[in-house]
């Protein structure tokens, strides 16, 4: 019995229960008094003790909640807080020292992500949407929180004519009276009351049944809310705070700068248009294909945005035309021809021998490189390896021309993208930044997490397959690797890789700091991922293996078509958990000296002369960002679970 | 007819496929090739590292363990360690302390939150789930740094900073509480406790048997603790009478002193070989059917050969690779028993335990927590509370999953036989929930132990931080990394072993 398997089991139990809750129709609303009696004062359980206990708990925990809320508000809105430190440094927090003149690249990246998100949302199979009851409850909850907050929060301090705070004899600020306090928080009053009014209108104009059975499609509702929020940069005075080399501009009573207004508006338009296109494509018969294409683009997006858009490559066209293009064409055409040859019916054993020979040749190329026998571009070595792997799976595509062309198309597409990307990655960058890496802040946090997931996924699946393999040496190697990596803390691996990895590399090979750290993340994450996948693989019943043996499938076919599809489906919830964990773990970048989100908040901003020692505000802000990202991912995983119907067969 | 059948079989056997199509051959060829590839890669990387280190003039080796590291550590058992090994030991003790304290606190808090998360009471339920979501969705490192910033912003330390003056001080210098310490007579008292536990177990079994036989409530567990308490109280005053225990340990140490090294080597090798032989015999027995020994597959042969080679390698290790191991083993076990002889020996008449309240050390104009009390300074307090609350959120989810995994029929059956709610929870639900929760709980304990390594963010001297300091000074990267790895692997194995022990005990006995 393995620990991780049960761990995955717990996750599945919980996720299933939560997903059930989302599936269940909303319950009929009780009258307010009855609801409170049942949920707050323990009525209806038929025992006076239950009433006393529940009432006591409600009072106790209610007071705890109120005190914490008041403390939180007083902290956030206190006069001592320097929220301008966060506002002015938003650019630093998200993109570190990315140069002003290239900043369009950042906006293009966000727009690409927005376009893909719009397409995905448009192509999504949607559920029944949000019930009116949920919207109303939501309005009541937030409106109520805001109004209670206004009442709870301590009054503002009185200020002198010069703007300084009036202090009493104990050096405590003198605060205004309760009534004055209520009078001055106009915007908050408006927001809270509007929400309460919307909630009441929905609640009282619709009867209980209508409330529960009228649905608003969730995505358009979300888009409209987002649109309202983004439009507020044109009509609401958020304040204009910018930080340039000349110092910082501080203009609280104004709208945000035009350099923020325009990009965000355009990005929202891109999102909206992409969503509409997605909706249009959804009506077509080939919606499934489009969905696959968009998923492929998502996979490509991190590479394209990072290496092409953000990095601004300087391409030496003459070199590309003389070396890279012919090589790519050679691999595409000759490799394609070879694969066409290998998929002809009746190729028999010859095909396998060629595939094995190709793989051995590819591996030999690396040995030759380490030994210094003959040089070869890394790209070519990798291409040979891919060709060998494609040849190995070629027998699965033996058949008529249509069947054979599938493999050829796949090969041509993959090679084209691979060669273009590798060529671009090997160019110098045109973006000039003071630090070693052009990326930083939240940007690097996200990219490291994304690249870690992309690269650790195949490695993790291979490790999981090896660990459940019938071949003892594979099992042993994989088990040792997984247990050793899982046994040590991530931070030790990071130290090791960030400082000492270059000791292990032969002459002429070198990994930059960030690349080395990413490799450490990948190796670490793969071990955990392997355990999650293993849980899924072990959930496959024995009969499946026996049936595929009875059909005469080869090991590769059985793995590709029977084992992995079923096993991966079961392990999706723990895999999303792994994504969230990886995203959170990237905060360790701050310890090994990368200027990531956390490090900028903790070390960089408190060192600026304008905001010396301002730390708590930044930390609260980044906590909120981390929370929003992870929380929405975990909610999404619950939804996914419901869609996949894991464990419901 | 049988002749023909046999001939066909024989000819089929004779027509084996060519070797490159023979499943067994290909299987082993691929595996051995992969193994060789991995070993070659490791050898290659290691030799590269060796070359590069030589080029930089860094010598490899563990000699730094015996050299004065010249570093100061605060917040450990030794502020000024004399050797590198001692410094790392200080770090290990801190890691272990933090882990054990954290595991206990996180379990209690986690169960509490997990049960609250399932409460019928809306308010309790929402607050528990808010706590869980807040803790789970923000990186632990951010939590630690936030706690650190918050604690740093508290009131200045003075004699009356409170909340309970003289007993509990929470200030910008951290948290100070009374410290219980092991005093002179503790070990003799521990002997009393041990005897008490044995006697208590005996009484408990007796009473349990009576309860099972008659159905009367005899409080078996209560009587166990009662007996232990009686021994503890009597021992508190009478413990010096056990001073002679020390001489037993001294005798053992003397005996160890005369054992020759070669005998230890031979014994260790023999143990390894005997273990392999025992394992192979057991394995062969498991392959034995009433009709005789089953045909052994190539996999079976591999396992047996592997066991044999492993034993031989162990013998080679003890004799050739590290002959000093046996003398190290002898010396350290002799030292251990000598320390025990000293601790358990005569003439230590003081009370077993003592307690000190926090005091104040005045440094110039500044008041600081003094050495008498137990002081968690700001960094370690932030680390501890963050780790405990973070892990507790995960434990709470595990507990919730465990409780929900108990079939509904169990609750209904318990209600049907008229159990009260609390009895039902205690006797029916929680034991079954615990059985499901235990393995993932063990994983969380492992995670907690590994997460203590984030101490480096608040400059607390745990193993990783001390190792990092030594590494920066001496450049002994591989050695320090090996020590980190071995230590954390040992922690993992210990926790796994403990969890597995309980897991086996709690497993459903299938009849």
- The answer on pLDDT for A97 being more than 50 is yes
Q: Is the ipTM of this complex over 0.90?
A: no
Q: Verify whether the Cβ–Cβ distance A349 to B21 is below 8 Å.
A: yes
Q: Verify whether the Cβ–Cβ distance B397 to A470 is below 8 Å.
A: no
- The answer on pLDDT for A4 being more than 50 is no
Phi then psi for residue A202, to 5 deg, are -60, -45
Q: How far is B136 from chain A (nearest CA, A)?
A: 9
pLDDT band at A520 (very low <50, low <70, confident <90, very high): very high
The 8-class DSSP code of residue B320 comes to I
pLDDT band at A648 (very low <50, low <70, confident <90, very high): very low
- In chain A, residues with a C-beta closer than 8 Å to the C-beta of B136 are 630, 634
Find the CB nearest B142 among A370, A495, A623: A623
- Superfamily the domain A1-30+81-98+438-649 falls into: MetI-like (1.10.3720.10)
Residue count of chain A: 649
List pLDDT tens digits, range A287-303: 888 999 999 999 999 99
List, as ranges, residues 597-636 from A with C-beta within 8 Å of B: 598, 602, 615-616, 619-620, 622-623, 626-627, 630-631, 634
Q: Verify whether the Cβ–Cβ distance B439 to A499 is below 8 Å.
A: no
CB contact, 8 Å: B42 with chain A? no
Q: Verify whether the Cβ–Cβ distance B123 to A14 is below 8 Å.
A: no
List pLDDT tens digits, range B336-377: 888 888 777 766 667 777 777 777 777 777 777 767 677 778
Mean pLDDT, chain B, whole residue set: 82
Domain ranges of chain A: 1-30+81-98+438-649, 315-427
Q: How far is A642 from chain B (nearest CA, A)?
A: 18
Pick from A640-649, B32-41, B167-176, B206-215: least confident: A640-649
- The answer on pLDDT for A637 being more than 70 is yes
Pick from B110-119, B177-186, B262-271, B438-447: least confident: B177-186
Q: What is the mean pLDDT of residues A339-350?
A: 83
- pLDDT value, residue A3: 39
Q: Verify whether the Cβ–Cβ distance B440 to A588 is below 8 Å.
A: no
CB contact, 8 Å: A469 with chain B? no
- pLDDT value, residue B10: 56
Instruction: Report the Cα–Cα distance between both ends of chain A, in Å, rounded.
Output: 23
- The answer on pLDDT for A345 being more than 90 is no
- In chain B, residues with a C-beta closer than 8 Å to the C-beta of A584 are 138-140
Phi then psi for residue A510, to 5 deg, are -150, 145
Give the bridge partners for A313, in sequence order. Answer: A429
- pLDDT value, residue B12: 56
- Give the rounded percent of residues in chain A with a pLDDT score beyond 90: 30
List, as ranges, residues 334-393 from A with C-beta within 8 Å of B: 349, 353, 363, 370
Q: Cα–Cα distance between A89 and A85 in angstroms, integer?
A: 6
- In chain B, residues with a C-beta closer than 8 Å to the C-beta of A505 are 48
Chain B interface disruption, residue of A587, A599, A604, most B CBs within 10 A? A587
CA distances from A94 to B49, B262, B376 (A): 37, 65, 35
Cβ-contact B459, B60 below 8 angstroms: no
Q: Cα–Cα distance between B55 and B392 in angstroms, integer?
A: 49
Pick from A95-99, A216-220, A279-283: least confident: A95-99
Q: What is the mean pLDDT of residues B10-19?
A: 65
- Give the rounded percent of residues in chain A with a pLDDT score beyond 70: 93
Q: Verify whether the Cβ–Cβ distance B484 to A492 is below 8 Å.
A: yes
Find the CB nearest A474 among B31, B53, B481: B31
Q: Verify whether the Cβ–Cβ distance B137 to A1 is below 8 Å.
A: no
Residue B332: CB atoms within 10 Å: 10
Q: What is the mean pLDDT of residues A28-51?
A: 78
pTM for the model stands at 0.86
Q: Quick one: closest CA in B to A470, which residue?
A: B299
A176: left (phi over 0), alpha (psi -120 to 50) or beta: beta
Chain B interface disruption, residue of A140, A479, A504, most B CBs within 10 A? A504
Q: How far is A59 from chain B (nearest CA, A)?
A: 9
- In chain B, residues with a C-beta closer than 8 Å to the C-beta of A620 are 146
Find all residues with CB under 8 Å of B331, minimum gap 6, and list them. Answer: none
List, as ranges, residues 391-450 from A with C-beta within 8 Å of B: none
- The answer on pLDDT for A22 being more than 70 is no
Long-range contact pairs involving B44-50 (C-beta distance under 8 Å, separation at least 24): B44/A370, B44/A506, B45/A504, B46/A504, B48/A503, B48/A504, B48/A505, B48/A506, B49/A503, B49/A504, B49/B478
List pLDDT tens digits, range A354-397: 888 998 898 888 888 777 788 778 888 889 999 998 998 888 88
Q: Quick one: closest CA in B to A618, which residue?
A: B146
Q: Verify whether the Cβ–Cβ distance B145 to A495 is below 8 Å.
A: no
pLDDT band at A141 (very low <50, low <70, confident <90, very high): very high
The 8-class DSSP code of residue A646 comes to T
Chain A interface disruption, residue of B138, B300, B415, B498, most A CBs within 10 A? B138
- In chain A, residues with a C-beta closer than 8 Å to the C-beta of B137 are 580, 626-627, 630-631, 634
Q: Verify whether the Cβ–Cβ distance B142 to A57 is below 8 Å.
A: no
- pLDDT value, residue A28: 72
Find the CB nearest B48 among A11, A495, A505: A505
Give the residue, B449 or A30, on which the prediction is more confident: B449
Q: Quick one: closest CA in A to B492, which residue?
A: A487
Say yes or no: domain B66-178+357-506 is CATH 3.40.640.10: no
Q: Cα–Cα distance between B178 and B176 in angstroms, integer?
A: 7
3-class SS letters over A499-538: HHHHHHCCCCCCCCHHHHHHHHHHHHHHHHHHHHHHHHHH
Find the CB nearest A623 among B53, B138, B471: B138
- The answer on pLDDT for B3 being more than 60 is no
Pick from B230-244, B277-291, B386-400: least confident: B230-244
Q: Verify whether the Cβ–Cβ distance A487 to B492 is below 8 Å.
A: yes
Give the bridge partners for A243, in sequence order. Answer: A248
Q: Cα–Cα distance between A201 and B24 in angstroms, integer?
A: 75
- In chain B, residues with a C-beta closer than 8 Å to the C-beta of A488 are 450, 484-485, 488-489
Q: Verify whether the Cβ–Cβ distance B437 to A10 is below 8 Å.
A: yes
Give the residue, B454 or B152, on which the prediction is more confident: B454
Find the CB nearest B27 among A7, A57, A471: A471
The CA radius of gyration of chain A, in Å to the nearest whole number, is 29
CB contact, 8 Å: A590 with chain B? yes
Q: Quick one: closest CA in B to A603, which residue?
A: B145
List, as ranges, residues 45-84 from A with C-beta within 8 Å of B: 45, 54, 57-58, 61-62, 64-65
List pLDDT tens digits, range B373-408: 777 788 888 999 999 999 999 999 998 888 888 888
Query: Which parts of A24-89 fold into alpha helices (H)?
Result: 32-39, 48-77, 83-88
Report for A108-117, A186-195, A249-258: range of highest mean pLDDT: A108-117
- pLDDT value, residue A1: 34
Find the CB nearest A491 among B440, B443, B456: B456
CA A347 to chain CA centroid, Å, is 45
Q: What is the mean pLDDT of residues A200-211?
A: 84
CB contact, 8 Å: A7 with chain B? yes
Q: Verify whether the Cβ–Cβ distance A488 to B122 is below 8 Å.
A: no
Q: How far is B10 from chain A (nearest CA, A)?
A: 25
Give the bridge partners for B182, in sequence order. Answer: B353
- pLDDT value, residue A6: 46
CB contact, 8 Å: A505 with chain B? yes
B475: left (phi over 0), alpha (psi -120 to 50) or beta: left
Q: What is the mean pLDDT of residues A571-582?
A: 87
């Amino acid at each position: 019995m393995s620990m991780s398997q049960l761990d995955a089991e717990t996750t599945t139990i919980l996720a299933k229960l939560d997903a059930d809750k989302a599936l269940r129709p909303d319950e009929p609303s009780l009258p307010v008094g009855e609801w409170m009696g049942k949920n707050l004062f323990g009525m209806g359980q038929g025992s006076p003790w239950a009433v006393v206990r529940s009432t006591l708990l409600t009072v106790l925990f209610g007071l705890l909640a109120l005190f914490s809320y008041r403390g939180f508000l007083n902290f956030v809105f206190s006069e001592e807080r320097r929220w301008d430190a966060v506002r002015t440094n938003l650019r630093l927090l998200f993109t570190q020292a990315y140069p002003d003149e290239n900043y369009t690249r950042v906006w293009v990246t966000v727009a690409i992500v927005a376009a893909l998100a719009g397409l995905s949302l448009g192509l999504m199979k949607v559920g029944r949407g949000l019930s009116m009851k949920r919207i109303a409850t939501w309005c009541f909850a937030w409106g109520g929180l805001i109004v209670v907050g206004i009442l709870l929060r301590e009054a503002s301090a009185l200020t002198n004519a010069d703007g300084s705070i009036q202090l009493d004899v104990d050096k405590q600020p003198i605060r205004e009276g309760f009534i004055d306090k209520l009078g001055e928080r106009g915007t908050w009053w408006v927001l809270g009351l509007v929400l309460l009014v919307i909630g009441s209108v929905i609640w009282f104009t619709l009867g209980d049944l209508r409330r529960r059975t009228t649905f608003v499609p969730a995505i358009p509702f979300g888009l409209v809310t987002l649109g309202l929020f983004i439009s507020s940069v044109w009509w609401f005075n958020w304040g204009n705070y910018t930080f340039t080399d000349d110092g910082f501009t501080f203009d609280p009573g104004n709208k945000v700068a035009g350099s923020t207004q325009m990009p965000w508006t355009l990005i929202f338009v891109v999102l909206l248009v992409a969503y509409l296109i997605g909706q249009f494509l959804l009506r077509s018969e080939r919606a499934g294909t489009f969905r696959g294409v968009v998923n492929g683009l998502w996979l490509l997006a991190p590479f394209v945005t990072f290496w092409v858009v953000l990095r601004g490559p300087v391409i030496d066209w003459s070199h590309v035309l003389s070396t890279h293009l012919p090589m790519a064409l050679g691999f595409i055409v000759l490799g394609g021809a070879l694969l066409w040859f290998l998929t002809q019916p009746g190729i028999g054993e010859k095909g396998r021998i060629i595939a094995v020979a190709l793989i051995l040749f590819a591996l030999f190329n690396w040995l030759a490189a380490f030994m210094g026998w003959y040089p070869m571009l890394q790209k070519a070595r990798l291409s040979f390896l891919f060709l060998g792997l494609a040849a190995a799976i070629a027998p699965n595509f033996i058949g008529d021309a249509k069947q054979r062309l599938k493999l050829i198309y796949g090969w041509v597409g993959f090679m084209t993208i691979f060669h273009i990307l590798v060529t671009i990655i090997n160019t110098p960058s045109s973006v000039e930044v003071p630090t070693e890496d052009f990326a930083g802040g939240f940007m690097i946090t996200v990219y490291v997490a994304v690249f870690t997931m992309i690269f650790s996924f195949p490695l993790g699946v291979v490790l999981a397959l090896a660990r459940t393999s019938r071949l003892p040496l594979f099992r042993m190697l994989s088990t040792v690797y997984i247990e050793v990596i899982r046994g040590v803390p991530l931070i030790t691996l990071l130290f090791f890789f960030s400082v000492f990895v270059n000791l292990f590399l032969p002459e002429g090979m070198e990994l930059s700091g960030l690349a080395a750290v990413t490799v450490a993340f990948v190796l670490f994450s793969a071990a955990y991922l392997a355990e999650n996948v293993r849980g899924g693989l072990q959930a496959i019943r024995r009969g499946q293996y026996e049936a595929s043996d009875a059909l005469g499938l080869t090991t590769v076919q059985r793995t590709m078509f029977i084992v992995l599809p079923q096993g991966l489906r079961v392990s999706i919830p723990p895999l999303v958990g792994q994504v969230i964990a990886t995203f959170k773990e990237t905060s360790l970048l701050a310890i090994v000296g990368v200027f990531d989100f956390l490090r900028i908040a903790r070390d960089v901003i408190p060192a600026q002369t304008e905001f010396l020692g301002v730390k708590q505000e930044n930390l609260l802000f980044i906590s909120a960002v981390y929370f929003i990202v992870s929380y929405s991912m975990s909610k999404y995983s619950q939804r996914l679970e419901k869609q996949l119907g894991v464990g419901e067969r | 007819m049988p002749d023909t059948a046999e001939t066909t079989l024989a000819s089929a056997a004779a027509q084996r496929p060519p070797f490159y199509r023979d499943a067994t051959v290909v299987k082993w060829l691929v595996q051995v090739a992969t193994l060789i590839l991995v070993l070659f890669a490791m050898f290659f990387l290691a030799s590269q590292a060796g070359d590069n280190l030589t080029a930089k003039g860094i010598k490899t080796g563990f000699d730094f363990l015996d050299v004065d590291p010249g570093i100061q550590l605060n917040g450990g058992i030794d502020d000024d360690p004399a050797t590198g090994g001692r410094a790392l030991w200080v770090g290990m003790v801190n890691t272990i302390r933090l882990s054990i304290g954290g595991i206990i606190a996180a379990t209690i808090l986690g169960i509490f939150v997990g049960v609250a998360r399932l409460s019928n009471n809306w308010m309790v339920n929402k607050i528990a789930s808010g706590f869980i979501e807040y803790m789970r969705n923000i990186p632990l490192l951010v939590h630690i740094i936030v706690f650190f910033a918050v604690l740093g912003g508290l009131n200045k330390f003075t004699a009356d900073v409170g909340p309970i003056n003289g007993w509990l001080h929470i200030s910008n210098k951290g948290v100070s509480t009374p410290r219980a310490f092991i005093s002179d007579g503790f070990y003799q008292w521990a002997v009393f406790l041990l005897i008490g536990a044995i006697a208590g177990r005996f009484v408990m079994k007796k009473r349990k048997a009576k309860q099972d036989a008659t159905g009367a409530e005899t409080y078996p567990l209560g009587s166990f603790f009662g007996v232990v308490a009686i021994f503890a109280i009597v021992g508190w005053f009478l413990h010096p009478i056990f001073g002679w225990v020390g001489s037993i340990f001294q005798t053992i140490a003397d005996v160890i002193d005369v054992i020759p090294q070669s005998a230890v080597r031979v014994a260790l090798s023999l143990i390894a070989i005997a273990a392999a032989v025992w394992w192979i015999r057991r394995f062969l027995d498991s392959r034995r059917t009433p009709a005789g020994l089953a045909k052994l597959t190539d996999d079976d042969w591999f396992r047996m050969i592997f066991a044999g080679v492993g034993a031989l390698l162990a013998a080679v290790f003890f004799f050739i690779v590290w002959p000093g191991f046996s003398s190290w083993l002898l010396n350290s076990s002799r030292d251990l028993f000598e320390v025990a002889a000293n601790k358990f020996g005569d003439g230590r008449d003081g009370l077993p335990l003592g307690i000190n309240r926090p005091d104040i050390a005045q440094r110039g104009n500044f008041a600081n927590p003094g050495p008498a009390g137990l002081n968690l300074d700001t960094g370690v307090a932030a680390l501890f509370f963050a780790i405990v609350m973070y892990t507790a959120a995960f434990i709470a989810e595990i507990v919730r999953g465990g409780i929900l995994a108990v079939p509904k029929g169990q609750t209904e059956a318990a209600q049907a036989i008229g159990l009260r709610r609390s009895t039902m929870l205690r006797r029916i639900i929680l034991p079954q929930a615990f059985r499901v929760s235990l393995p993932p709980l063990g994983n969380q304990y492992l995670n907690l132990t590994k997460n203590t390594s984030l101490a480096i963010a608040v400059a607390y001297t745990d193993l990783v931080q001390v190792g990092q300091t030594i590494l920066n000074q001496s450049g002994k990267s591989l050695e320090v990394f090996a020590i980190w790895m071995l230590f954390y692997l040992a922690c993992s194995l210990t926790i796994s072993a403990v969890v597995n022990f309980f897991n086996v005990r709690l497993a459903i006995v299938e009849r």
